[in-house]
Amino acid sequence: MFRLGLKQGLNFQEVARVEARRSDFPGLFIQTDVGRAYPFGKVGAHVIGYLGKMTPAQASSAEFSSLPPETPIGQWGIEALYDKQLRGVAGGKVIEVDALGREHRLIQEKPAVKGNGCCPEHRYWHAEKLWKMLSETRPARSSL
């Protein structure tokens, strides 16, 4: 089946509007994505790291063999060191649909398991203070 993404980053109201008129749009469905929240934006980004798509080497390793290839994984910093704990376990549903894509019954459901955070809020507070202090510090000048 061919899938075409229409919009990313829908808010709650947009999802509710689409779901309320679902019968008007057979075959249209909302797909959720995996992501992580960074409460203080770029504060400590070089330590926290980032998520990215699996490389071919990672996809063939035993550590990531059970994940779908499109799963974002930690590529650097804390994201890479604690990827397994942060990621959690994906859930899923098996749903019976008709030829128009309308759902008729839930056959099986596996609930998702949320990942564990590794860094309590107070660590972010310290990182934010350090970022502010460093951004207010003037760089040293050198001359010959």
In tens, the pLDDT along 50-75 reads 888 899 999 899 988 888 888 889 89
pLDDT for position 97 = 86
Which H/E stretch holds residue 36?
A: none
All structural domains of the chain: 34-134 (3.90.1310.10)
Q: Report the alpha-carbon distance of residue 141 to residue 144 in Å, rounded.
A: 10
Nearest to 64 by CA among 86, 56, 111: 56
- Residue 31's identity, in one-letter code, is Q
Low-confidence ranges of the chain (pLDDT < 70): 1-2, 34-40, 42-44, 117-144
Mean of per-residue pLDDT scores for the chain: 78
